[in-house]
């Protein structure tokens, strides 16, 4: 049998706060005027709450909780539950927008000009479908990588996925010879000759195009922390995309060579975030470790760097670093960067050696970002 001291037990699930007040007044034999006097609230307010024309505000909830001895929280909870019951909980427009924003960083894509600003959810869906190359956003967002995997990976965030798609859009406009893995490794050994002086990075797009690699630069999106990616438009069309997130010669060259190592081994699609920088994340899987090792060795042969460390540790003077750089024909900032990577030097050491290369590479490579708005395809 219901407990008469708990009115909620004999009221239906959709009961209003006013229904509960009526039940309490009936149980106690009080009138609305009595409740108004007890709570020191206007009779008109009490009457409107009972009729469902006035919501219970916190001050009234406190007064009712004291009057009926059940606490303000009970009355606020009843008010909230009732108001929610009056609203259609299944709003398809909200659900559609939530699904879209889970797939793409809409605001940032609009800001970068990758999609047009739209006035309706239907127009937004059409814009994103065009960008991702699908008929509907209900489809999987797949982008072939070496014809063996897709970008619809659970490890990719929406900004990362959008960045990779934009990189492929640009790459399709870049000319390059058909990729031939037979001569790629040998040709790749010549790239280190471009790492001696900062302005030589302007030769990279042409050099890579001649060995079959399309090269593009895409500024990273907020919160993405992307440094670079290696992907394939088809089996004979590899792409290397860099964000040049850190404008330092060592970060640029390590990221470039890291992505080229992925191409060399025809690794599955690789998107590298926090690959370089003070807060870099050490990747422990075999593929990433191999690419890191290959990148370091391509720039500075292992035995040469190991010998330098053994001879100079722990005092790595600038003069000795510069002498070593001249001897092996590499920029001293790259040597400093590798020593920092090995934790032999701190991230802030020899900052003056870290030549900036972003403005050089973005003048010659197909680039998206830093205020430049390219047409979205």
Contact 137/103 with Cβ under 8 angstroms? yes
Residue 280 has pLDDT above 90, yes or no: no
Q: What is the pLDDT of residues 78-134, one digit of tens each?
A: 999 888 888 766 677 888 888 899 889 999 999 999 999 999 999 999 999 999 998
Contact 141/161 with Cβ under 8 angstroms? yes
**pLDDT given at position 194:** 96
Q: Which two tokens stand for residue 330?
A: 């590499």
Residue the block writes with tokens 């006097």: 37
**pLDDT given at position 284:** 64
Distance CA 185, CA 365 (A): 23
**pLDDT given at position 375:** 62
**pLDDT given at position 377:** 59
256-287: burial string, b at 16+ Cβ within 10 Å, e else: bbbbbbbbbeebbbbbbbebbeeebeebeeee
Alpha-carbon distances of 173 from 27, 28, 144, 176, rounded to whole Å = 79, 81, 17, 10
Residue 278 has pLDDT above 80, yes or no: no
Residue 367 has pLDDT above 60, yes or no: yes
**pLDDT given at position 189:** 87
- Region 25-41: what's the mean pLDDT? 94
**pLDDT given at position 374:** 65
Computed on alpha carbons and rounded to an integer, the radius of gyration of the chain in Å comes to: 32
Q: pTM for the complete prediction?
A: 0.77
Q: Burial, 350: exposed, middle or buried (Cβ in 10 Å; 0-12, 13-18, 19+)?
A: buried
Residue 254 has pLDDT above 80, yes or no: yes
Q: What is the pLDDT of residues 195-209, one digit of tens each?
A: 999 999 999 999 999
Residue 304: pLDDT band with limits 50, 70, 90: very high
Distance CA 253, CA 305 (A): 16
Residue the block writes with tokens 């605001």: 107
**pLDDT given at position 149:** 36
**pLDDT given at position 145:** 41
- Region 30-49: what's the mean pLDDT? 95
CATH 1.10.260.40 fits 7-85, yes or no: yes
Distance CA 1, CA 4 (A): 9
- Region 363-375: what's the mean pLDDT? 85
Q: What is the pLDDT of residues 306-343, one digit of tens each?
A: 999 999 998 899 999 999 999 999 999 999 999 998 88
Q: What is the pLDDT of residues 201-232, one digit of tens each?
A: 999 999 999 999 999 999 999 988 899 999 99
- Region 298-312: what's the mean pLDDT? 94
Domain ranges of the chain: 7-85, 99-132, 158-368
Distance CA 243, CA 271 (A): 11
Q: Which residues are CB-neighbours of 94 under 8 A, at least 6 positions away?
A: none
Q: What is the mean pLDDT of the chain?
A: 88
Alpha-carbon distances of 369 from 27, 160, 178, 199, 219, rounded to whole Å = 70, 15, 28, 20, 5
Share of the chain above pLDDT 70, in %: 90
**pLDDT given at position 5:** 43
Distance CA 291, CA 282 (A): 12
Distance of CA 187 to the CA centre of its chain: 34
Residue 138: pLDDT band with limits 50, 70, 90: confident
- Short-list 266, 228, 259, CA closest to 147: 266
């Amino acid at each position: 049998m219901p407990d008469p001291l708990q009115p909620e037990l004999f009221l239906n699930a959709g009961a209003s706060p006013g229904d509960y007040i009526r039940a309490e007044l009936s149980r106690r034999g009080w009138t609305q005027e009595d409740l108004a006097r007890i709570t020191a609230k206007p009779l008109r307010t009490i009457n409107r709450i009972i009729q469902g024309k006035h919501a219970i505000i916190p001050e009234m909830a406190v007064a009712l909780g004291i009057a009926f001895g059940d606490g303000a929280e009970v009355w606020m909870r009843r008010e909230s539950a009732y108001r929610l019951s009056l609203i259609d909980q299944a709003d398809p427009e909200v659900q559609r927008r939530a699904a879209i924003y889970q797939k793409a960083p809409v605001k940032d894509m609009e800001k970068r000009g990758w999609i047009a600003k739209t006035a309706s959810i239907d127009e937004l869906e059409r814009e994103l479908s065009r960008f991702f190359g699908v008929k509907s956003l209900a489809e999987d967002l797949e982008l072939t990588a070496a014809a063996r995997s897709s970008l619809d990976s659970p490890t990719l965030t929406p900004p990362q996925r959008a960045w990779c798609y934009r990189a492929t859009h640009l790459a399709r406009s870049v000319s390059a010879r058909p990729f031939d893995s037979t001569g790629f490794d040998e040709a790749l050994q010549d790239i280190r000759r471009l790492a001696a002086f900062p302005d030589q990075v302007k030769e990279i797009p042409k050099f890579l195009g001649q060995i079959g690699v399309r090269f593009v630069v895409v500024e990273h999106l907020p919160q993405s922390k992307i440094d670079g990616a290696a992907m394939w438009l088809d089996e004979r069309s590899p792409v290397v995309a860099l964000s040049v997130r850190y404008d330092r010669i060592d970060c640029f060259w390590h990221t470039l060579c890291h992505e080229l190592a992925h191409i060399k081994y025809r690794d599955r699609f690789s998107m590298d975030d926090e690959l370089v920088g003070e807060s870099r994340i050490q990747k422990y899987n075999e593929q990433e470790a191999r690419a890191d090792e290959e990148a370091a060795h391509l720039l500075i042969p292992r035995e040469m760097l190991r010998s330098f460390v053994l001879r100079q540790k722990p005092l790595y003077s600038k003069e000795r670093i510069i002498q070593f750089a001249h001897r092996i024909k590499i920029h001293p900032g790259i040597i400093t960067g590798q020593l920092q990577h090995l934790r032999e030097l701190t991230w802030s050491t020899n900052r003056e050696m870290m030549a900036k290369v972003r403005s050089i590479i973005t003048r010659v490579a197909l680039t998206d970002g830093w205020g430049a708005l390219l047409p979205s395809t």
